Structures are given as C-alpha cells and as structure tokens.
Amino acid sequence: MGKLILVIIIYVLLYLSIKAYYKINNFRTPFSSWGMWKDDVKLKEKFIVSFIINIPLFIVLLYYLFW
C-alpha cells in the first residue's frame, strides 16, 4: 500500500512539474483546467508528455518484474 501511495505522489509531482515548466518558459500549457488535452496540442507533444508522465509506471513494473 505504501508503494502505491508513493507512485501516486510521484504522478502528481510530475503533472505539476510539467505545468510549471510550461508556465516558466511562457509556453501555452497542453492541459485544460480539468487535466485533459487542449485541442491545439500536436500528437508529437502528446506522446512526449505522456511518456514522461508514465516513467514511474515503467519503474514500478520493472521493479516487480526483476526483483
């Protein structure tokens, strides 16, 4: 249960850090107010941001697969 909470916290921190990156660099944010993709976001940008957000999932899956 503790590992699940850790993964959820990491997901929240990644989401907030992506939003902060876009705000600091004065780019338009790719997320709407509810966390969904905006209409003007390109597919390439969706793939990159989605991959970054799913890195904790890959780490947890590899952890349980090999240990």
- Provide block-wise average pLDDT over 10 residues at a time, the chain (67 residues): 81 90 90 86 92 86 83
Nearest residue to 50 (alpha-carbon basis) of 22, 28, 31, 26: 31
Q: How many residues does the chain have?
A: 67
**Predicted local distance difference test score (pLDDT) of residue 24:** 94
pTM of the predicted protein model: 0.75
How far apart CA 66 and CA 31 sit, in angstroms, is 35
**Predicted local distance difference test score (pLDDT) of residue 47:** 94
**Predicted local distance difference test score (pLDDT) of residue 11:** 87
Helix H segments across the chain?
2-24, 43-53, 55-66
